[in-house]
Homo-oligomer: A and B are copies of this chain.
Amino acid sequence: MVNFSDRMDGIRASDIRQLLKLTQQPDIISFAGGLPAPELFPVEEVNAAFNAVMAENGRVALQYGQTEGYAPLRKHIANRLAARNGIHTDPDHVILTAGSQQGLDFIGKLFLNPGDVVVLESPSYLGAINAFKQYQPKFVTVPTDENGMIMEELDRVLATTENVKLIYIIPDFQNPSGRTWPLERRKQFLDIIGKYGVPAIEDNPYGDLRFKGEFQPALKSLDKDELVIYFGTFSKILAPGFRIGWICASEHIIEKVNLIAQAAVLQTATINAMVISKYLDMYDIDEHVAKILPVYKHRCKLMIDTMRETFPEEAKFTDPDGGLFTWVELPDYINTRELAAVALEHKVAFVPGSGFYPNGDVNNGMRLNYSCSTDDRIVKGVQLLSDVIKGALR
């Protein structure tokens, strides 16, 4: 009866969110989510931090606050960006967001007119694609190999495409592929975007979750042209339930993000920012991350080893150095959206790959999450999935 806006034509339910609902039945082994392991959440420490905030400053915590977010937390973030990521920033160039997803919405809103082009890795994060779709852009994808985006292809795309307003990338343990860019590619990338003057979102939710291989510097730490808009979050290193992430960018971008945040949401939750800030005062978050890493390393290895043992050779998969995901590619003739329905009947779930391709033209990928399953369920689930895949082979 009522008429919705034109943008709603392009906005559909996310495969992941729909799947997450189905997979809450305990008899289903789900590799579909992107959930951190809840048994590792520092519940007691968070509770202690909350109690301290309420005792010291409860009325401030429950009141409205400033749009850019609680200043001591932004200072913590700036300090940690310098210490761990080599990013030297003024805390005033950091704004809190309700998770990185809200950052994607804000940056899409900031840059995109209908018909503008967003450049993405192929595949790229489904949630980013969905966030940008709200602003009716065109998507142009750049092919990737085992080292991430292929820079010659990026150069070619930027040389031959008009109205490129934004590039979106995840250089560390990409979602969905689990791949990481080596240093050389990072430098090439910055040279190329500098040449064309195109801003880029460096989304880095997983960077701290490296359990093998060598640290790679953030693009933002090497960015002389102030084109990199860096996204971080507490969702994967502390807890997603707070919905606290951040954007770090140069002043002329951050001040515009602030205007959008004012108009769209006023501010992130005061109390959440204060509790995380107090947690960082009271505890060493790097010690906490150090407890997560061996668990994820073990689960990743167990999943990869079991896939090596049981998957047919037609299934290719990545062996990530960190993060939450591995990515499987099946023969072209297998549509993993159909396969996911069969898998659910066999009580195992994954996210079919087509949602990670903005133009929906690749259908043989599968994203598997290993961070949130027990050993038993990883082995059993991979075995079930292996049978499902074998049943689909010609």
Contact = CB atoms under 8 A, between A and B. Distances in A.
Interface of A: 1-8, 11-14, 17, 20-21, 33-36, 38-39, 41, 43-44, 46-47, 50-51, 54, 58-67, 98-99, 101-102, 105, 109-113, 116, 127, 130-131, 133-135, 165, 197-199, 226-227, 235, 239-243, 252-253, 256, 259-260, 262-272
A20 B61 CA distance: 16
A58 B47 contact: yes
A364 to B, nearest CB: 25
A269 B269 contact: yes
16 contacts: A4-B111, A4-B256, A5-B110, A6-B113, A11-B259, A14-B263, A34-B64, A46-B54, A62-B242, A63-B241, A65-B241, A98-B243, A101-B264, A130-B263, A241-B269, A243-B270
Contacts of A12: 259
A66 B21 contact: yes
B11 A260 contact: yes
This chain's copy number in the assembly:
2
B17 A67 contact: yes
Contact of A272 (B165, B259, B265, B272): B272
B58 A259 contact: no
A112 B241 contact: no
A8 B110 contact: yes
Contacts of A65: 241
A41 B64 contact: no
A13 B64 contact: no
A111 B2 CA distance: 9
B63 A102 contact: no
Contacts of A17: 66-67, 262, 266
Nearest to A65: B241
A105 B262 CA distance: 10
Contacts of A34: 64
A168 B35 CA distance: 38
Contacts of A105: 263-265
Given A2-B111, A111-B2, A62 B46 contact: yes
Given A41-B59, A51-B47, A63-B38, A265 B6 contact: no
Nearest to A99: B266
B54 A3 contact: no
Contacts of A47: 50-51, 54, 58
Given A8-B259, A11-B263, A14-B263, 15 more contacts: A1-B226, A5-B135, A7-B113, A17-B67, A33-B64, A43-B54, A43-B62, A50-B50, A65-B241, A98-B243, A98-B268, A99-B266, A102-B264, A269-B269, A269-B272
A226 B2 CA distance: 10
A1 B198 CA distance: 9
A262 B13 contact: yes
Contacts of A271: 239, 241-242, 272
